[in-house]
Amino acid sequence: MYAGKWCRISGEGERSQVKGVLSINDFKGFGEVVAPLGDSPPLEIVEPKVVIDSREITEAGIFIALKGERTDGHSYIQTVFDNGASWAMVSREWYDAEGAPQPPPGKGFLVTSDTVAGLQRLSTMYRNTFSLPVVAIGGSNGKTTTKEMVASVLGTGFKVTVSKGNRNNHLGVPLTLLQLRRDTGIAVIEVGINHPGEMALLAGIARPTHVLLTNIGHEHLEFLLDLDGVAAAETPLYDYVHRKGGIAFINNDDLRLRDAGAGLAGSLSYGTSESPANTCWAREISVEQDGRLSFLLCSVIGSEKIILNFTGKHNVINAVAAATVGTHYGFSLYQIREGLERLIPAPGWKRLEVVDSFGLRILNDTYNANSDSMRQAIEALCDMPCRGKRVAVLGDMLELGAATDVEHETVGRYIQQRPVDLLLTFGDKARLIGREAPGACRGHFESREQLLAQLVARLHEDDVVLFKGSRGMKLEQVVDSFITARTITR
């Protein structure tokens, strides 16, 4: 593939502990370093730029070639080198199949048996060069919102490195760690799981000093079976800080988390009601006319009124969690209020994102769904000030396994008890929601086009409509088409 003299660099090498410097020598115990003789790329990389998407490569960057279901990163090795990459991590299988190719001048290969594990190893090596607080945030619902709130609060006093979007899995966590910079004061890392054993892996990669689990809910029951299974899969995050002497922030409103966190030395609890055990709590929760949440944040040092740029009363506990983290780090209630109130959900948030369209209000909660977040979204719809109809458009909840039918029926019975004027369902299993809510349901659809036509015909100014379903249902496409249709008819 490439011409020129080259050498294989193997062996353990010396470990580098220089802050913010990734030493390629440290990789030798995990794989093989192949570089041109006399023209090797840098072996010490300050604040590395590591990507898994070939389109994101930058000058002197490191490309990790991952083999996915639809594409193989190894197909882009030449492209990333042409675009400035210094190193490419490749699999041993690819390297041997290509005849042990020589890298171009000034370029190098990191050859390993498994590039996913190689990425994780690289990130751990880099994370080990930092001695700084790392807050890991997991749980069934509200991880991303809580992560953003915590980062915003801490950002009033620290330079924060935070997970982008929902980069929270076995790839996202390592990529976030590799974005640590020398001026980072604290890191806020989201950790998400859907199988047993994954939390221990993520904790071992991130090495958090502080952890927070939002709640235990009906997530990924296809793999975690029931709430006890979810708790067993999430709470190894507590086990990690217990072993390492770290600190946990514990949601006292969640009985499973309260029990799992009992006895964790130095940990702080929080909740929505006053308790001697809680560091922070909330009072006087209400929804403003524009849908924003208002509450009185209380703590052992005083109280402060907070107005969030979020809707849904369940988000108050997420804000209280962020306040508890801020309190632990010595922030004043004024700083905590500043951090919480300046946070505005980015366009495309899709987590109870409020969109006003010519007098009609849309709650776009299409990012994902389980039965707990469905109920929370329905409550948000019912709490929203409304002069017209309250309308729910609900799609399937996926990855619920044997509990699929029961969970959909439970949501339907819940709607039947709530002041929802109109229910439309979409998909396969969502039909069961409608069957249990005959008072509100006015149709089930398996075609986005038919659903859109019904929405255009039935919805008017002053109505509030909630769109909610699992990621795979892509209900955001209906939201976008509905907004476009209303725009065209103005």
Same domain (yes/no): 222, 327: yes
Q: Tell if the pTM clears 0.95, that is, is over it.
A: no
Q: What is the C-alpha separation between 393 and 468, in angstroms, rounded?
A: 6
- Residues 151 and 154: their CA atoms lie apart, in Å, by 5
Domain that holds residue 45: 6-113
Residues 335 and 359 in one domain: no
Question: Which parts of the chain have pLDDT scores under 70?
Answer: 1-16, 488-490
Residue where a domain terminates, one of 113, 141, 166: 113
Q: Looking at residue 198, what is its pLDDT?
A: 97
Task: For residue 241, give the nearest of 219, 214, 215, 213 by alpha carbon.
Answer: 213
Secondary structure of 391-440 in HEC code, one letter for each residue: EEEEECCCCCHHHHHHHHHHHHHHHHCCCCCEEEEECCCCHHHHHCCCCC
- Give CB contacts under 8 A, 24+ apart, made by 258-266: 260/231, 260/235, 264/238
Domain boundary (319, 341, 363) is at 341
Tell me the backbone φ, ψ of residue 300, rounded to 5 degrees. -70, -10
Structure tokens at 67: 């083999």
Secondary structure element (H or E) that encloses residue 162, with its range: strand 160-162
Q: Model confidence over 312-366: pLDDT tens digits?
A: 999 999 999 999 999 999 999 999 999 999 999 887 789 999 999 989 999 999 9
- Residue 489: predicted pLDDT: 60
CATH code of residue 15 = 3.40.1390.10
Q: 275 in a domain, yes or no?
A: yes
Closest Cα to residue 8, out of 80, 103, 82?
Answer: 103
Rounded CA-CA distance 45/19 in Å is: 11
- Residue 413 belongs to a domain: yes
Residues 275, 334 within the same domain:
yes
348 occurs within a structural domain: no
Radius of gyration of the chain (CA): 25
Q: Is residue 286 located within the same domain as residue 203?
A: yes
Determine the 3-state secondary structure of 58 from DSSP. Answer: coil
Residue 124 lies in a domain: no
Q: Is 123 a member of any domain?
A: no
* Residue 427 domain flag: yes
- pLDDT at position 166: 79
Residue type at position 392: A
307 and 413 share one domain: no
**H or E stretch including 119?**
helix 115-127
Number of domains forming the structure of the chain: 3
CA–CA distances in Å: residue 215 to residues 139, 212, 351, 368, 418: 5, 9, 17, 16, 24
Domain identity same for 60 and 95 = yes
| Distance from C-alpha of 440 to C-alpha of 421, rounded to nearest angstrom | 6
- Cite the DSSP H helix spans in 184-332: 198-206, 221-224, 227-234, 236-244, 255-261, 315-328
Tokens 């991590």 found at: 89
Indicate whether 427 and 292 sit together in one domain.
Answer: no
Taking the C-alpha atoms of residue 185 and residue 235, their distance in angstroms, rounded to an integer, is: 26
Asked, for residue 347, whether it belongs to a domain, the answer is no
295/406 same-domain check: no
3-state DSSP: the chain helix, strand, coil percent, rounded to 5?
35, 25, 40
Q: pLDDT at position 38, please?
A: 83
CATH at residue 314: 3.40.1190.10
Q: Are 316 and 363 contained in the same domain?
A: no
Q: Which two tokens stand for residue 448?
A: 């986005």
pLDDT for 406:
96
**Are the C-beta atoms of 382 and 420 separated by less than 8 Å?**
yes
Among 113, 143, 162, the domain boundary falls at 113
Same domain, 137 and 107: no
d(CA 62, CA 411): 47
Residue-level pLDDT at 169: 97
* 377 within some domain: yes
Do both 269 and 410 map to the same domain?
A: no
Residues 262 and 186 in one domain: yes
Separation between Cα atoms, residue 478 and residue 451, nearest integer Å: 8
